[in-house]
Chains A and B, each alone.
Chain A
C-alpha cells in the first residue's frame, strides 16, 4: 500500500464548477497535511495545509481533514482555467520529511 494515495485523474470540470480532489494516507499517526499545485515543468507550490479535523477555507480553496478515515480533500470553488494543473497531496512523516501522492491532474474547461 502506498503511503499517500490519490486518484491520478484526469479530472475535468467546467469553468465555474467545484473541483473535488481526494487523498488517503496510510500512517495513522500523521499530523500535518498539505496540498501543492504543480504546473507542468515547474516545482510544486503550496496551496494549503491543515492540521486539525474539519474544514479550513482560504479563498476559493477548502481543505478537509478526517483523521479517523485517514482522508484529506481539497475543494476548489469557481474553478478557473488557470487552476488546471496537477495537485499533489503531501503528508509530513515522523522524520519531518514530506511524502507525496502521485498527484491528480485537473483540467478546467472554459
Chain B
C-alpha cells in the first residue's frame, strides 16, 4: 500500500521554541493532506486540511498563526508549531489521500513534548 512518512517521530523542545514536523507521501502524489492531533486516550481531532499550492483550511478553534502549515509540493506538507507551550504536547498525525482510490494513509505520527 501507499506509504506516508512522518518526521520526526519524537521531539522534545523547550517552551517558547518552534518545532517543524514533516509529512511525505513516498510513492504517490497527494494534492491534499490532513493534520490531526490526538491527546492521550482521545480520538483524532482534525486540525487542518492542507492543499498543495494554496493556504490550508483550519478547523474551528485551531490557531492558524500558531500551527503553520505549508504544502509546497505534491509529496510534502509541513506543520510548524510556533512558540510551543506545554499544552501543545500531543501526538500529531498527518495523512494523505491518494488521488486514484481516495484511500487515506497515515504517517507514523510525531509525539511532541514541550517542557
Contact between A101 and B107, CB atoms less than 8 A apart = no
Closest chain-B Cβ to A31's Cβ sits at a distance in Å of 11
- Which residues from 66 to 115 on chain B have a C-beta closer than 8 Å to any C-beta of chain A? 91, 93, 95, 97, 102-109, 111
Closest chain-A Cβ to B103's Cβ sits at a distance in Å of 7
> Which of B34, B43, B109 lies in contact with A43, CB distance below 8 A?
B109
Check A33 for interface membership: any CB of B closer than 8 A: no
Check B42 for interface membership: any CB of A closer than 8 A: yes
The interface residues of chain A lying within 8 Å CB-to-CB of B104 are 34, 46, 98
Closest chain-A Cβ to B75's Cβ sits at a distance in Å of 18
Instruction: Give the contact-size bracket for chain A.
Output: 10 to 19
B-facing mask of A35-67, CB < 8 A → 1, else 0?
Answer: 000000111111001000000000000000000
Contact between A102 and B43, CB atoms less than 8 A apart = yes
Known: A96-B32, A97-B49, A98-B34. A46 touches B43 (CB 8 A): no
Check A1 for interface membership: any CB of B closer than 8 A: no
Contact between A97 and B42, CB atoms less than 8 A apart = no
The interface residues of chain B lying within 8 Å CB-to-CB of A88 are 43-44
The interface residues of chain B lying within 8 Å CB-to-CB of A101 are 43
- Which residues from 8 to 42 on chain A have a C-beta closer than 8 Å to any C-beta of chain B? 32, 34, 41-42
Residue of A with least CB distance to B45: A100
Q: How far is the CA of A34 from the CA of B104 in the complex (A)?
A: 10
Check B13 for interface membership: any CB of A closer than 8 A: no
Q: How far is the CA of A10 from the CA of B91 in the complex (A)?
A: 21
The interface residues of chain A lying within 8 Å CB-to-CB of B105 are 46
Known: A49-B103, A98-B34. 10 other contacts (CB 8 A): A32-B102, A41-B109, A43-B108, A45-B106, A95-B57, A97-B49, A98-B46, A100-B36, A100-B43, A103-B43
Task: Report which B residues bind A (CB closer than 8 A).
Answer: 6, 32, 34, 36, 42-46, 49, 57, 91, 93, 95, 97, 102-109, 111
